[in-house]
Structure 1
Amino acid sequence: MYQLENDRLRIEIDAKGAELKTVYSKSFSLDYMWGADPAYWAKTSPVLFPIVGALKGNTYYYEGQLYHLSRHGFARDKAFTVTAQSTDSITFTIESDEDTLQQYPFSFRFSIRYSLIDNELSVSYEVQNKGEGLMFFSVGGHPAFKLPLVEGTHYNDYQLVFEKEETAGRWPISKDGLIEKTPLSLLQQSNVLPLTKELFSKDAVVLKHLQSSWVQLQSDKTPHGFRFYFPNYSFLGLWAAPGADFLCIEPWCGIADSVDTNQQLPQKEGIVQLSTNEAFNVQWRVQFY
């Protein structure tokens, strides 16, 4: 387990999956991350690469060949190597190998950089195409925050407040983990989403192409919460396991297959295209208070 800290925050990261395990505020003596209770969900913040969500039949096609990838891809189960470290940041990296090439026929280098500045955590993803020809991928985060945050409050005491008023439906998820064709009403010229455990009774809330670049978790029962920045992400997922005391806020460059997908990787919704020797960079940030 690797640790990074400043005067305000302390974080811990596991080399397996380069997974963020702990965010502790020294200022408030407060843990913000879900405790990974295996009775509900044994992870805290898996990284999603080289796909986000599920593929139809865990299968896709590329240049006439059939490949299999499980939900969210393989990066979350890989052993990352620390490739850079300073007093305020640490970078973890994996590269393509024989195992990945059987599932995903692209040569890549994938790095995750964690940085602390005052009361803010920044998580940056860099994907490099190390092969010949175009590379197709998705990438995203899946951090789970403890909810309720403080003793004496309840799940329903909290709400998400978006930067801008949104008119956005939630895209239902089929029993196979695929995106249905018609959204359900969720936000109608509103920037407030009250949180309840029932909100996630039918899997994640999937949002597309929001106007907002941040969302804030807050409650009138406590001064504590956080603001989550997700600029340059086309999709946002919100999720909690049934009955669990956490909330995942998931910024995605990519999305699960639709129910009517043709399973061709280059035509997949939200897929990112990267030329030889090019790099793709994206970041999400959280300010804790």
Structure 2
Amino acid sequence: MSGSADRISLGTPKLKAVVKAEGAELTSLKDGEGRELLWQAEAAWPRHSPVLFPIVGKVKDDTLRIGEASFPMGQHGFARDSRFTLVEHDATGCRFLLQDSEATRAIYPFAFRFEVAYALHGATLAVTYGVTNAGEGTLPFSVGAHPAFRWPLPGSAGKLAHRIEFEQEEAGPFFRLNDKGLIDQTPHALPTHGRTLGLREDLFRPSAMILLNPASRRLQYGAPGAPGLEVAWQGFGQLGLWMKPGADFLCIEPWAGHADIDGYDVDLWSKPGIEMLEAGETRRFTWRVSVTG
């Protein structure tokens, strides 16, 4: 382990990671040969792997409705732009904490503890989100991952050689975001062949591809005959795939929750996909990325 409380470096002989306290965000992931696997927050999209909490995606009019009250809430919530406290760290792991404050309660009136833990094991990075209800009533929330992996991956062929191989055959459908950033209710057929989704930029020109109920809990990403990545997740019920056409990254995003569905006029308590925690309860969500091949 090296670094400061602002930026922590972790490593094994097969994988190295850097995490920053701002947003508890993963900023670098390098394989055993020192090749960068993560998008480096270039101008096309100035983030690496933001942590999404207490919402995923957008809410209607960027306004969180809770009963008769309304609160401003930007896309993906406030955690990605909040400074976390470093709780512990060693050579291969670290844990960060964000707690409710006067500032968070002004826009999200709930008591919570939100922990983000990183752990390296050989060629695998495990990321665990722990949400604890620190209040007396029910805690409604969503949480999600948003890692942007390089596309093409280093040492691989060009973009069009890359594909996603799902764990299970995915019958679909998938959904798009509309110009308001909300999920359009129109279903689209998933263009898979068996378990394989061939990747090309035009798949993402309208918006992200959103699977609201994927059968898979893991997938392989990369080009045949070259090192690739396996991404696996537990606790997350939805999956987003996104890239910005013209940029060299692909986001593989396990979510517990999603953007508001356009046409659903509901408050947070009735929002589709919302998670609920009773007082004192903790729920954990984990995603892993492993270098394969």
TM over 0.5: yes
Preserved contact between residue 153 and residue 222 of structure 2 (Cα < 8 Å)? no
Residue 65 of structure 2: aligned partner: 61
Residue 251 of structure 2: aligned partner: 248
Aligned with residue 195 of structure 2, among 155, 172, 191: 191
Alignment of 1:76 with 2:80, yes or no, is yes
SS at match of 1:133: coil
- Larger strand fraction of residues: 1
Preserved contact between residue 156 and residue 223 of structure 2 (Cα < 8 Å)? no
CA RMSD for the aligned pairs?
A: 1.3
* 1:68-101 deviation per Cα after TM superposition (whole angstroms, max 9, x unaligned): 1000000000011111223321001110011110
Preserved contact between residue 56 and residue 261 of structure 1 (Cα < 8 Å)? no
In 1: Cα distance, 2:28 partner to 2:231 partner: 16
Paired AA for residue 237 in structure 1 = G
Residue 112 of structure 2: aligned partner: 108
In 2: Cα distance, 1:15 partner to 1:171 partner: 33
Paired AA for residue 133 in structure 1 = G
* 1:103-145 deviation per Cα after TM superposition (whole angstroms, max 9, x unaligned): 1010111000000001000000001111110010000000000
Residue 38 of structure 2: aligned partner: 33
Aligned with residue 177 of structure 1, among 169, 173, 181: 181
Which moves more between the two structures, 232-241 or 181-190?
181-190
Show structure 2 runs of 5+ residues with no match.
1-6
TM-score, normalization by structure 1: 0.96
Residue 86 of structure 1: aligned partner: 90
Aligned with residue 266 of structure 1, among 254, 265, 269: 269
Preserved contact between residue 214 and residue 231 of structure 1 (Cα < 8 Å)? no
Which moves more between the two structures, 29-38 or 237-246?
29-38
Preserved contact between residue 155 and residue 227 of structure 2 (Cα < 8 Å)? no
* 1:184-237 deviation per Cα after TM superposition (whole angstroms, max 9, x unaligned): 1114672110001111101101012111110101212x4210100023311100
Residue 206 of structure 2: aligned partner: 202
* 1:230-271 deviation per Cα after TM superposition (whole angstroms, max 9, x unaligned): 233111000011211000000000000010122310111110
Alignment of 1:11 with 2:12, yes or no, is no
Paired AA for residue 198 in structure 2 = P
Greater than 3 Å deviation, 4+ residue runs: none
Preserved contact between residue 178 and residue 184 of structure 2 (Cα < 8 Å)? yes
In 2: Cα distance, 1:68 partner to 1:279 partner: 26
Show structure 1 runs of 5+ residues with no match.
none
In 2: Cα distance, 1:12 partner to 1:171 partner: 33
In 2: Cα distance, 1:232 partner to 1:78 partner: 23
SS at match of 1:160: strand
Aligned with residue 131 of structure 1, among 131, 135, 143: 135
In 1: Cα distance, 2:185 partner to 2:96 partner: 37
Residue 121 of structure 2: aligned partner: 117
Preserved contact between residue 66 and residue 267 of structure 2 (Cα < 8 Å)? yes
Residue 283 of structure 2: aligned partner: 280
Paired AA for residue 262 in structure 1 = D
Preserved contact between residue 37 and residue 154 of structure 2 (Cα < 8 Å)? no
Which moves more between the two structures, 259-268 or 48-57?
259-268
In 1: Cα distance, 2:107 partner to 2:173 partner: 33
User: Identity of paired residues, percent?
Assistant: 36
SS at match of 2:40: coil
Paired AA for residue 11 in structure 2 = E
In 1: Cα distance, 2:16 partner to 2:165 partner: 26
